[in-house]
């Protein structure tokens, strides 16, 4: 946000819930090239997003100007094909990484895409393998395989520098991607970031419960976000995930990091973001807590904060490059 500056000729005006905020337009960076793969049928749209009208940007609930878009597929030898939607535009681009069992058609993903469209910046949203329209058997998925999914999108779909936005488990994956691709990942935004999340939750169980899960081979984890009220998580998934834990040592990420977390989050406690901030090597790290937000952070004010955070980083990175 640019405090202390009045609107001038050529400024964007963002009107969110009756408040207009003047923001200077961003300087243009090189535009990425064309998208990969053939198109297939689209997801049904959600009724929320960010829309543009008369050179203004609005957060709207419901969204009345979202256009239907088709889904493309990234083919990978010996790996599941990944469903994705790519919006062409300027750099830095934005890649949205969904959370556990979430797909690319959620409230935050669509809002980010529309916001990027309003600024003329590139945006990619996709489904992890075994989820949504992507191929793959969910029972065979692991944190390691999902990490490879993110790297495939960065390597084979994205062009130029990228800002990664990861929600929940997607926040864990984005840190691994930043570690593996430091030249291409230029900033991170975590929403209810669940670094080491499932492993931490498992380790907090009573010893006898953990032994029972090990013998059974399955953890029936209660969750109000599952239609059944529980998630069936294989014990082997937890053991594999242990190899990808990050909080036990400094996290070698040097780019700007923004961590948004709701203090009413009853899935991943907000102090997890504080731990992550402490472990990250980067000196440019901000943690923003919302007192009344829950794990999903999908209310109007949450989405507004998210797109403003993206905007601030785009502006910061554009200034650095220019």
Catalytic residues: 168, 265, 295
Residue 275 buriedness (CB in 10 A; 0-12 / 13-18 / 19+): middle
What SS3 class is residue 252? coil
Question: What is the tally of helices (H) and strands (E) in the chain?
Answer: 8, 15
Could you give the CA distance from residue 150 to residue 286 in angstroms, rounded to a whole number? Answer: 24
Residues β-bridged to residue 56? 13, 53
* Whether the bond into 62 is cis, omega within 30 of 0: yes
What SS3 class is residue 16? strand
Question: Could you say which DSSP state residue 98 is in?
Answer: -
CB atoms within 10 A of CB 238: 21
């Amino acid at each position: 946000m640019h405090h202390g500056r009045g609107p001038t000729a050529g400024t964007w005006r963002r009107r969110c819930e009756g408040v207009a905020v003047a923001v200077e337009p961003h300087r243009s960076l090189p535009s990425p090239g064309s998208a990969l793969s053939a198109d297939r049928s689209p997801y049904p749209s959600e009724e929320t997003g960010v829309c543009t009208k008369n050179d203004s940007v609005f957060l709207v609930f419901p969204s009345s100007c979202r256009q239907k878009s088709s889904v493309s597929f990234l083919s990978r030898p010996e790996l599941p094909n990944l469903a994705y939607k790519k919006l062409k535009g300027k750099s830095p681009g934005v890649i949205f990484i969904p959370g556990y069992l979430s797909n690319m058609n959620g409230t935050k993903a669509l809002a980010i895409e529309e916001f990027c469209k309003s600024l003329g910046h590139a945006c990619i949203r996709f489904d992890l393998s075994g989820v949504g329209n992507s191929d793959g058997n969910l029972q065979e998925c692991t944190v390691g395989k999902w990490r490879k999914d993110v790297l495939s999108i960065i390597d084979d779909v994205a062009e130029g520098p990228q800002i990664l936005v990861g929600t929940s488990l997607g926040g864990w994956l984005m840190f691994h991607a930043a570690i593996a691709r430091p030249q291409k990942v230029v900033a991170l935004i975590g929403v209810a970031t669940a670094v080491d999340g499932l492993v931490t939750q498992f380790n907090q169980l009573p010893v006898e419960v953990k032994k029972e899960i090990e013998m059974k081979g399955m953890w029936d984890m209660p969750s109000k976000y599952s239609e059944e009220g529980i998630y069936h998580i294989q014990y082997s998934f937890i053991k594999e995930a242990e190899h990808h834990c990050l909080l036990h040592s400094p996290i070698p990420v040097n780019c700007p990091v923004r961590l948004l977390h709701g203090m009413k989050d009853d899935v991943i406690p907000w102090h997890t973001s504080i731990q992550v901030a402490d472990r990250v090597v980067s000196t440019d790290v901000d943690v923003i807590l919302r007192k009344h937000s829950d794990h999903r952070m999908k209310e109007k004010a949450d989405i507004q904060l998210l797109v403003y955070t993206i905007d601030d980083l785009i502006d910061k990175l554009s200034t650095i490059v220019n």
